[in-house]
Chain A
Amino acid sequence: MSDTESDTDSTLRAILSDVLGLSPDRVAAFDASTGLFGDLPELDSMAVAGLLTEIEDRLDVVIEDDEVDGELLESYGNLLAFLESKVAEKA
């Protein structure tokens, strides 16, 4: 894993910790298969919108409407892979 990838991973975990109000330890235990939208009841559409906006701010990427679908938010692994490719595109 390159530095950029691990930066994206740690930034995403930090944002999820803020949005979900979970301790960094609990978020550190998320793996690629950890479910997000649909599995975490507090992640409603408003919280997801906030999550995506914060991701855009902190990673300096733009996420288009049509890129946001159920699959993207299904698991931590899917969201991270999407963001890593976004960050790589920018570089």
Chain B
Amino acid sequence: MIASWPCPGPHGQSEEYAFAFDRGRMVRLLIVPALFDEANRTRRMLVDTMRLLDEAGVDSFLPDLPGCNESLQAFSAQSLHAWRRAMAQAARHFGATDVLAVRGGALVFPHTLPGLVLEPAKGGSILRQLLRARVISAREAGRQEDSAALLEAGRSGGLELAGWHCGASLIAGLETATSQIEGQRIVSQSELGGGGLWLRAEPAAATEQSAALAQIVLAEIAT
């Protein structure tokens, strides 16, 4: 269930983990997770989807982005470029035939693979939300901060946003990044029924959404 893969990092190769169902089957789906807190909120739903895909005869792989989860790499050293390179490497290592990118994962997924993208998010929206969370929590603590000034400082020196130590290159990359969809099917939340789990204040399971997503994936990769 837990697989590892060699990932390029600033200090050479490092081992990263992936949650995987690998029985050496023909169809092998790489799942590129959402970014920041959205990855935690959607993880249970995706893992339940992976179980259903396994039962349907499809292998799937959910790698950690370097710097996230169990990764030994520093989060502050990450950039969209580094995550893109890492996901391309994971796709090669696991022999992925198809891809499912979730939300901000659409900014870093290997777009030469066929597959699907669930509710792709723009880098600018993700950054704006993180900046807003920081301004709100500062205000709660009695400090006045301003999104524009924070962004300016973050572009050159990096910035801590919602507990994430974002390096300057990640901030700069997010600001203008748009998804790199190239023919992949865009799946909208309304197709899964219910509200998007990335919106949830607390992580939760959603078995109906997992089932709907598994059906959509199976229909797409069979065609």
Kindly provide the distance from the CB of A41 to the nearest chain B CB, expressed in whole angstroms: 9
Beta-carbon nearest neighbor of B132 in chain A? A49
What is the CB-to-nearest-CB distance from A36 to chain B, in angstroms, rounded to a whole number? 11
- Flag if B199 contacts A54 (CB, 8 Å): yes
Contact A21 B201 (CB under 8 A): yes
Instruction: State in angstroms the CA–CA spacing of A69 and B140 once bound together.
Output: 9
Which residues in window 37-85 of A have CB below 8 A to B? 42-54, 65, 68-70
Q: Does B137 lie at the interface of the complex (its beta carbon under 8 Å from any beta carbon of A)? A: yes
Whether A19 pairs with B139 at a CB distance below 8 angstroms is no
Alpha-carbon separation in the docked complex, A50 to B139 (Å): 17
Given A18-B195, A49-B129, the answer on whether A68 and B135 have CB atoms closer than 8 Å is yes
* Cα–Cα, bound, A88→B137 (Å): 29
By the criterion CB–CB under 8 Å, are A53 and B136 in contact?
Answer: no
- List chain A residues, Cβ under 8 A from B134: 45
A-B contact count, CB below 8 Å?
A: 65
Asked if A8 is at the interface (CB within 8 A of a chain B CB), the reply is: no
* Nearest Cβ on chain B to A12's Cβ, whole angstroms: 13
Task: Contact check, A48 vs B195: say whether CB atoms are below 8 A apart.
Answer: no
Q: How large is the interface on A (under 10, 10 to 19, 20 to 34, 35 or more residues)?
A: 20 to 34
Which residues of the other chain, A, contact B146 by a CB distance below 8 angstroms?
Answer: 65
On whether the beta carbons of B125 and A47 are closer than 8 Å, the reply is: no
Contact partner of A45 (CB less than 8 A), chosen from B125, B147, B162, B195, is B162
**A18-B199, A46-B201, A49-B129 given. 18 additional CB < 8 A pairs?**
A14-B195, A17-B195, A18-B196, A19-B199, A20-B200, A42-B202, A44-B137, A44-B201, A45-B133, A45-B137, A49-B133, A49-B162, A50-B198, A50-B201, A53-B129, A65-B135, A65-B147, A70-B139
29 example contacts (A-B, Cβ-Cβ < 8 A) are as follows A14-B195, A17-B195, A18-B195, A18-B196, A18-B200, A19-B195, A19-B201, A21-B195, A21-B201, A21-B202, A21-B204, A42-B202, A45-B133, A45-B134, A45-B136, A45-B140, A46-B37, A46-B201, A48-B136, A50-B129, A51-B199, A52-B132, A53-B125, A53-B132, A54-B199, A65-B146, A65-B147, A68-B132, A68-B136
The 9 closest A-B pairs by CB, nearest first: A18-B195, A47-B201, A49-B133, A45-B137, A42-B201, A49-B132, A45-B136, A46-B133, A53-B129
